[in-house]
Structure 1
């Protein structure tokens, strides 16, 4: 009986590993094709051997994608879009996280008058599709004079990020020991002093989770950047679309693949570097 259970456990483990390997191959295969294609010449791509390794790897397509590819009438690659994305992402990550942390802290422990109504409105906003809000936001920002500008796109990202950021931090802070806050209040700590000196130092896992989610969402955004950023502040995703769709004559697949990988490099690096912190933050109460 024990031997039969051991055999069953071995086969179950083999099945689990086989499934995991198949799933990993399924998701990694497109990335493999993109990488190998970006290092090939167009002559080699025309052979149709999509899974073959490049016979003579070259960075020419990467250099062209970064600084020479045409994005409409301009032929400066996606380099400008990268710095535009950085300028958009930094305030669009920092501001929602800070405001979400303050909101979550206030709603979980200070219970302001009307706080439950405010939280309900924020949660309702999380379920409204972005497309429904685009036209009203365009009219509002045009009236305020910030449409098609860097502050305009940052405000839009801030608005759409507030519900989920507030929910994450509220649930996380609600799981902290109540005795800590009671002791801090007895010692004379006020709202901001407790938040800065006590709450924020304990929020590292959740801050990293929120940063990963916000960086990924802002960097990968296309429709909001296209609509609100304006021609001078187009993010990298918009310029990637322009690179792929403004090709004349022969379509340069190696250049398109290189530009796509360059555009997705930042979210990939963020996940690779801070993946364990993301799991730790989720386990600490991010989705309670």
Structure 2
């Protein structure tokens, strides 16, 4: 009997070992590295100098600003569009629901690099979008070379990629809302608009919070789109924290400082998640 008590541990041992070697150890080691700097190719302890360096690093501060601009603009737009689409696709009068659901969800399973390259081709000065605009009598827009439009291009691309993903989450939650609530609202004479804000939104509150947290984490780690679409340009106007982390670690091989940036992202994620829970009024 005593030997049998250890049997479950043999089954979970491979997973625990793999997690420890490829997840736990790198996390702990990178935390140690955040307090080190390379001197002659040898990592030496330098206290909190890397963290102090962040506050005087203009490139990091610019990357932080760019990331928060994208976060503040893109995440609310995406969640709102996902909510609207989910509500429309949940309608009982809509035909071909399966087709529309698959169509809107397809971008979420598209390769990040592939779709970023396609968007970069479409948004070139002589790309498809500018050609359509010029054929309609409008001027060409410098999508990737102007600071404002470069950020707008990232918002457009990210929203296209992830809107359908959040829509599916909201759609699943909508189907769990009791029909009796809407029937009672109809009897009381509530309009569809009133039902949306008085029934749908409150019922979806935990799911909206979940999507907002996931979207916030994803935006703070944003790398693929700015790297492929704009390469952080023009003049670092679309440089994100994730992209600056990559450049610091794998272009300049300053792994100590890169580890510091990584843990700053972790701290930002924790802070943003905390405030989102507080704003949502969730006490758990």
TM-score (norm 2): 0.74
Instruction: State the match for 2:72 in structure 1.
Output: 90
Q: Name the SS of the counterpart of 2:94 in structure 1.
A: coil
State the 1:268 CA deviation.
5.3
CA 1:47–1:159: 2 relative to 1, 3 Å: closer
Cα separation, partners in 2 of 1:9 and 1:124, compared to 1, 3 Å: same
My pick for the range that moved more, 254-263 or 16-25, is 16-25
Unaligned runs of 5+ in 1: 49-53, 69-75, 281-288
Q: For the Cα contact (< 8 Å) 1:107–1:170, is it kept in 2?
A: yes
Aligned residue runs from structure 1 range 213-224, under 5 A: 213-224=214-225
Deviation at 1:260? 2.9
What is the CA–CA distance in structure 1 between the aligned matches of 2:62 and 2:255, rounded to whole Å?
21
Match of 1:230 in 2: 233
The size of the alignment, in residue pairs, is: 254
Residue 67 of structure 1: aligned partner: 56
User: What does residue 136 of structure 2 align with?
Assistant: none
Alpha-carbon distance between aligned partners in 1 of 2:274 and 2:20, rounded to the nearest angstrom: 18
SS of residue paired to 1:78: helix
Cα separation, partners in 2 of 1:108 and 1:9, compared to 1, 3 Å? farther
Of residues 94-103 and 180-189 in structure 1, the stretch that sits farther from structure 2 once superposed is 180-189
Cα 1:9/1:181, change in 2 over 3 Å:
farther
Q: Which residue of 2 aligns with 1:72?
A: none
Q: Which residue of 2 aligns with 1:173?
A: 174
Q: 1:136 to 1:46 in 2, by over 3 A?
A: closer
**Residue among 69, 76, 89 paired with 1:107:** 89
Corresponding residue of 2:29: 33
Q: Which residue of 2 aligns with 1:51?
A: none
Given the alignment of the two structures, is residue 119 of structure 1 paired with residue 120 of structure 2, yes or no?
no
Q: Quick one: structure 1 residues 113 and 24, their matched pair in 2 at CA, closer, same or farther if it must change by over 3 Å?
A: closer
Whether the 8 Å CA contact 1:78–1:240 is kept in 2: the answer is no
Choose 24-33 or 78-87, whichever is displaced more.
24-33
Q: Distance in 1 between matches of 2:59 and 2:110?
A: 35
Question: 1 CA distance for matches of 2:8 and 2:184?
Answer: 49
Report how far residue 44 of structure 1 moved.
Answer: 10
CA contact (8 A) 1:92 1:158 kept: yes
Task: Measure, in 2, the Cα distance between the counterparts of 1:44 and 1:246.
Answer: 17
Whether the aligned pair in 2 keeps the contact of 1:61 and 1:258 (CA below 8 Å) is yes
Equivalent of residue 261 in structure 1, options 248, 263, 273: 263
Instruction: Give 1:125-204 correspondences, 5 Å limit.
Output: 125-142=107-124, 143=130, 145=141, 147-148=143-144, 149-204=150-205
Superposition deviation, residue 87 in structure 1: 0.5
1:212-253 Cα offsets, whole Å, 9 max, x none, are 221222222212112146321221122223333553xxx543
- Structure 1 110/146 Cα, relative in aligned 2: closer, same or farther at 3 Å? farther
**What SS does the aligned partner of 1:192 have?**
helix
